[in-house]
Amino acid sequence: GQNIDQPTEMTATEGAIVQINCTYQTSGFNGLFWYQQHAGEAPTFLSYNVLDGLEEKGRFSSFLSRSKGYSYLLLKELQMKDSASYLCAVRGPNDYKLSFGAGTTVTVRA
Amino acid sequence: GAGVSQSPSNKVTEKGKDVELRCDPISGHTALYWYRQSLGQGLEFLIYFQGNSAPDKSGLPSDRFSAERTGGSVSTLTIQRTQQEDSAVYLCASSPPGEKLFFGSGTQLSVL
């Protein structure tokens, strides 16, 4: 099975940087995803890591360490529209099922 | 269509009634998933369809829950004899095999 942990809430100031950590314990691993979900809306894809290292995409970056079972999502130059829930998800050994963490609610303050 | 479409967007029902939730995946996506999201909780996997293969039903919480996918496209999730603990947002997602999931906006189910 999968056990995925991430903080429940984080607050940051507009223009700042926030790092959302995700740790996982899985019976197999075939990649880690980050999704963003605004209240009342569908989750939308942000990033995907399958090899160790940092993937950068504009203001958002995601890091993976498979040996440590650890990932983080880094949000730079925070904007008010970044206030949302951020979901960490791990793909298991069967290569299709995503198991999700409970999500981290990020609140960006002016 | 342009994205995954779910209907209805909201459903209020009485305890004990049956409900049907519909999902129209993105055209050409062979994989289709159903997840459930309760308030403050993560997404809970329910069922997975891939092409003509037998579905993975391992996440269905009880035999009151069932799902089918007709013609490899539209899927219907049926909950029989609804209970209050079934209240949640039911999310559908589709993808090409092994790729990222595209989610619909979900059906908010409220069982009174």
pLDDT attached to residue B51: 85
More confident residue, A72 or A26: A72
Confidence of residue A2 (pLDDT cuts 50, 70, 90): confident
Considering only CB atoms, which chain B residues are within 8 Å of A23?
Answer: none
Q: Fill in the amino acid letter for B93.
A: A
> Across the interface, which of A42, A45, A97 has its CB nearest the CB of B45?
A97
Give me chain A's average pLDDT, please: 93
> Across the interface, which of A42, A96, A103 has its CB nearest the CB of B105?
A42
Tell whether omega for the bond before B8 is within 30 degrees of 0, i.e. cis: yes
pLDDT tens for B3-56 read 999 999 999 999 999 999 999 999 989 999 999 999 878 899 999 999 888 899
**How many cross-chain Cβ pairs, A to B, lie less than 8 Å apart?**
49
pLDDT attached to residue A13: 97
pLDDT tens for B63-110 read 999 999 988 799 999 999 999 999 999 999 999 877 899 999 999 999
pLDDT attached to residue B83: 97
pLDDT attached to residue A51: 94
pLDDT at B1 over 60: no
- What number of helices (H) and strands (E) belong to chain B? 0, 10
| Average pLDDT rounded to a whole number, residues A30-36 | 95
Contact A6, A103 (CB under 8 A): yes
Element (H, E) at A77: none
- Return all residues near B7 (Cβ < 8 A) that are at least 6 apart: B21, B22, B107
Confidence of residue A95 (pLDDT cuts 50, 70, 90): low
